[in-house]
Structure 1
Amino acid sequence: MQLNSLIERVEIPARQARSVRVGAGRRVRVTTETGGQVGDLFAFTGDDLAEHLSAAHTRAHVGRLFPAVGEQFVTDLREPILTLIEDASPGRHDMLIPACDPARYRALGVVGAHASCAENLRRVAGPLGREIDVVPQPVNVFMDIPVDQEGDLAWLRSPAAAGASITFEAVRECVVIVSACPQDLVDINGGTPKPLVLEYAAHMEGSVRS
């Protein structure tokens, strides 16, 4: 599936996050070029980024744990924000697990600082004029968290091979923020966090990118 014209490429270093502004009708693709790397994806609308993609509202909207190709993600105001256009991966993604944060790493035995998706989001959103008080539930692309018949979760290594990608189309102009998850204590990234790549169609001069 081709992106729109004026393609921009943004490399997301391991353990860090980047943001892009995507115009309505434009597409954005997340790729794990090395394979096996989870990405926490957030999306916000409005100049003040007050409305955000909501995993919980999306599950209710589509009646599934994760949208199928052609279905939409919605915001906390139940408005469409992204459409899943193409999934060139094994199709294992998650919308149950919250973004990792300092408390999560302390619980896993980390002493001192450790990068996290929650802090990555706050760091990237700050220059955009948005202070994040409550971190939204992310869309965890390439993350495999199956639920068994007893309701138990399994934390599996990402099955996404090198070059796997997932492509979204913006229903409305939005800021998309993706964190290359720093998790190295649970095996979702194979023990070694790796970079991700964002490709998007710039919709105007001066598109947000940080």
Structure 2
Amino acid sequence: MTLIAQYHVEAQTGIGFLLQQGHILTVIDPQGEQVADLVAFGQSYKTEWLSSGRSIDYSETIYLTTGHVLYSNRSTPMFTIVEDTVGKHDFLFAACSSEMFRILGGIEGYHPSCFENLVKNLSPFGITGDMIPTPFNLFMNASVLPTGQIKIAPPLSRPGSFVRLRAEINLIVGITACSTEACNNGTCKPIDVEITN
């Protein structure tokens, strides 16, 4: 594989970039137990975005891993997961936001959030806050209990754990190093990203 681009995403920040069809996106957890929020949009039609509902529906599971396809809201394949060293991710929770911290945590002051970081880093590509879909929350360890309650536990990722995804169309991609301490076993850490072909 030829390295095309490499990014280091500091804790509680994000990035936005273009990803071409056929290229491989590798998201790495360098320190372990750190979630990365992933969203994507079509380069041709920005109203086509990564869809939690379509991806879960067509895969018939909420636990998407190696071999599964991630679909758009128009049922277009956007990514194929080609390698996954963790096997447990979340596609149910929205990106954390200032409203989430206020409603669930009672935090009235400023707190960094994935929603803010996605909007900030995707705005140069014409993506607005109202367009941000439910992210594919890489490494997030969420389980649905028999009662329907969703329990969040520390990520299963260890230092160097990664997920490789192949772009099936030309994409605009946003990735964050999640800002919610509770999802990352108490501390927010960086995420590394590589693009290869």
**2:158 aligned residue (154, 158, 161):** 161
User: Which residue of the partner structure matches residue 94 of structure 2?
Assistant: 98
Q: Is the 8 Å Cα contact of residues 87 and 166 (structure 1) preserved in structure 2?
A: yes
Q: Distance in 1 between matches of 2:125 and 2:131?
A: 16
Number of residue-to-residue matches in the alignment: 196
Where in structure 2 are the equivalents of 1:25-104 lying within 5 Å? 25-47=22-44, 49-89=46-86, 91-104=87-100
**Structure 1 segments unaligned to the other structure (5+ residues):** 203-210
TM-score, normalised by the number of residues in structure 2:
0.94
**1:193 aligned residue (188, 191, 195):** 188
**Percentage of pairs with the same residue:** 29
C-alpha deviations, 1:5-32, integer Å up to 9, x for none? 2332101010000122211111000001
2:150 is paired with a residue whose SS is coil
User: Offset at 1:47?
Assistant: 4.3
Where in structure 2 are the equivalents of 1:126-165 lying within 5 Å? 126-165=123-162
Q: Distance in 2 between matches of 1:100 and 1:93?
A: 16
C-alpha deviations, 1:138-159, integer Å up to 9, x for none? 0000001111222221111112
Q: Is the 8 Å Cα contact of residues 22 and 201 (structure 1) preserved in structure 2?
A: no
**Aligned: 1:9 with 2:11:** no
C-alpha deviations, 1:133-176, integer Å up to 9, x for none? 14200000000111122222111111211110001000111122
Superposed CA RMSD: 1.4
Letter of the structure 1 residue corresponding to residue 170 of structure 2: E
Q: Is the 8 Å Cα contact of residues 125 and 132 (structure 1) preserved in structure 2?
A: no
**Structure 2 segments unaligned to the other structure (5+ residues):** none
Residues 129 and 48 (structure 1), Cα distance of their counterparts in 2 relative to 1, 3 Å cut: farther
Q: Is the 8 Å Cα contact of residues 81 and 172 (structure 1) preserved in structure 2?
A: yes
